[in-house]
Structure 1
């Protein structure tokens, strides 16, 4: 059975892992050898150890670019958010962490709750190809979306263009709020981003292995230990 799993997930003998380095909650740094470090890279390392194979990280600047590595057969697995548009060509496990997504708005904005944002006069800054961008693209009916690449660029776009709302993951927005005057964060959220592990849709035995691995990683406390190890307690939630 193990050889069949490896044949699907690491046919070259090395597990090729797509990492979204734009998610600073899950990829918190870089090792001396240039490899990414953080909850996601460490979790991928644990998978490779379980399989008894080597590991190669493919770091991408955007979540959309990370997803494309599966479509283009550059990676064997990816660690990104489960999202319907991506699920068309990626098979995702259950989530291993969840992160709320919400908005920053100007202090004097009439927007009080999430449902106030989707109005024709409102312009929303959002990081392109992120899970919450894909979600807002599907669900926003009246407001307009204005995209940047990554949160730092998108936050600057929000400020420079004096847009009406900045979408993002709550922990990252809270950090940005410290550098923004006259702004506030909405208390409610428009979605919960579910970070999962994805592989090729044709991988059946390999997928079952990943599903079991994530279930065990949550129940054994491994995910919680990694969250503590990388100093992101209170920012990432482990699903029940």
Structure 2
């Protein structure tokens, strides 16, 4: 892709391209053996900076809410987020590049057998503060109480320490945590599909948003995203289908 100079300026008001990286979603961003940020999100950020022909700065956060806030407040120029209407008030999202499933987890002895059993007044559901499933379940659950862990990776720890009834999160993260804490099980069906996209502050304009969307579509079509998922050993995430029309 080639970019008009006005698009490059829209993405680099501070002189460098600042990418908001959420390390609280280890499926898409984590640290490698040297401690440096690594993952699908980081690969996409580097590819976008290369196409723009600018220097990249990774701005790291340990939780989705902090990452969203950085882009909303223009302390970062773009980021990687699950699409959500509340976030959409300040961030223009691309079409998703991968789809990830959200699941519930309970103890083996729990009477909760299916998703429909969760939304009861006596149940407390642990979520990562500001995560996509926090926002979604805050809207959808009418009776159960939501308990917010500081970050998504601490959901199961909070669930266990506070003896709560349900943990909610990304399927792969819950499965990994369950392997370390016997006596836990995932319910048999997802409660949501998390649509992971890139996003830019709405204030940067429609042209910038459309340019970022074209980049995402190119990365999906070229096989870049699929190769990145394989390279980083990500399982259980699927490539999102081709998106819709650009913003008007």
Q: TM tier, shorter chain?
A: over 0.9
Partners of 2:58 and 2:36 lie apart in 1 by 7
Task: Indicate the residue corresponding to 2:187 in structure 1.
Answer: 186
Partner SS for 2:190 = coil
Note the C-alpha offset of 1:6: 0.4
Equivalence for 1:113: 114
Contact kept, 8 Å, 2:131 with 2:152, in 1: the verdict is: no
Count of aligned residue pairs for this structure pair? 238
Equivalent residue number for residue 220 of structure 2? 218
Cα distance in 2, alignment partners of residues 188 and 23 from structure 1: 21
Contact 1:28–1:230 under 8 Å retained in 2 = no
Q: How does 1:1-240 map to 2 (within 5 A)?
A: 2-30=4-32, 32=34, 35-202=36-203, 203-232=205-234, 234-240=235-241
**Distance apart, 1:151 and its partner CA:** 3.4
CA distance in 1, matches of 2:12, 2:188: 43
Secondary structure, in 3 states, of the residue corresponding to 2:47? helix
Residue 105 of structure 2: SS of its match in structure 1?
strand
Structure 2 counterpart SS, 1:23: coil
1:124 and 1:167 in contact (8 A); partners too:
yes
Give the CA deviation at 1:30: 4.1
Indicate if the aligned counterparts of 1:35 and 1:57 stay in contact, CA closer than 8 A. Answer: no
3-state SS of paired residue (2:17): strand
Q: CA RMSD in A?
A: 1.4
Per the normalisation by structure 1, the TM-score is: 0.95
Do the aligned partners of 2:63 and 2:152 also contact (CA within 8 Å) in 1? no
Does the aligned pair in 1 maintain the 2:129–2:148 contact within 8 Å? yes
Residue matched to 2:246: none
2: CA distance, partners of 1:226 / 1:193? 18
8 Å Cα contact 2:129/2:152 also seen in 1: no
Q: What is the TM-score of this pair, normalised by structure 2?
A: 0.92
Distance in 2 of aligned mates of 1:229 and 1:152? 22
Distance across 2 between alignment mates of 1:162 and 1:75 = 37
Q: Is the CA contact (8 Å cut-off) linking 1:14 and 1:56 kept in structure 2?
A: yes
